[in-house]
Structure 1
Amino acid sequence: MPFFVIERNYVERVGVPLEAAPGINVINDEEDVRWLYSFLSIDHRKSYCLYEAPSIEAIRSAAARAGLPVDSVVEVEGRILPSGELSPLT
């Protein structure tokens, strides 16, 4: 299944721990989307999330149902390591 990086911009600061995570995961399961992890900006108003999903449309559908913003979605192939090698995400 493809991997995607999602950029999200929030109007309000995102609280940590994210109390909505269990509900988001239920919606993601129903949409066949898997949230792997996220990076949160220092001001808690932007996140970059790594997801595994069948399509961009599935990600957008799950986000809409969860009330989450989706500012951009980019399909990614893997990680480039400091050695210069490409490491698959699987």
Structure 2
Amino acid sequence: MPRYLVERTFPEGLHIPMTAEGATACLNVVDHNADLGVTWVHSYVTGDHRQTYCIYDGPDPGAIRRAAERNGLPVDRITPVSVLDPYFYR
């Protein structure tokens, strides 16, 4: 399955509470993505919570974008990526 880096901007910041409601919100994203064959692997969030860099697996950029739309999430850029692991060379 191809892997993508999805860059997002949240002008007001991304605020997901560390509560059951926050967990439910994240699991809802996972469920909506699954309908399109998209998997949210993990995300990096900047200190001000205004930018995220998310790793996704999915069939193509269109599916990634449709999943974001279903979840009400912005998409600035989708870039195909692969893993470069420093331990591969040992």
Instruction: Identify the TM-score tier after normalising by the shorter chain.
Output: 0.7 to 0.9
Q: TM-score with structure 2 length normalisation? A: 0.84
More strand, by proportion: 1
Paired position in structure 2 for 1:4? 4
Q: TM-score with structure 1 length normalisation? A: 0.84
Residue by residue, what CA displacement relative to the aligned partner does 1:29-50 show, whole Å, maximum 9, x if unpaired? 1011000000000000100000
**Paired residues, number:** 84
Q: Percent identical across equivalent pairs?
A: 35
Bigger relative contact order, structure 1 or 2 (CA pairs below 8 A, ≥6 apart): 2
Q: Structure 2: any 5+ residue segments left out of the alignment? A: none
- What's the secondary structure of 2:47's corresponding residue? coil
Q: How does 1:76-87 map to 2 (within 5 A)?
A: 76-81=81-86, 85=89
Match 1:66 to one of 55, 60, 71 = 71
Report deviation, 1:70.
0.5
Q: Structure 1: any 5+ residue segments left out of the alignment? A: 86-90
- What's the secondary structure of 2:84's corresponding residue? strand
More helix, by proportion: 2
Deviating above 4 A after TM superposition, structure 1's stretches of 4 or more consecutive aligned residues are none
Task: Confirm or deny that 1:28 pairs with 2:33.
Answer: yes
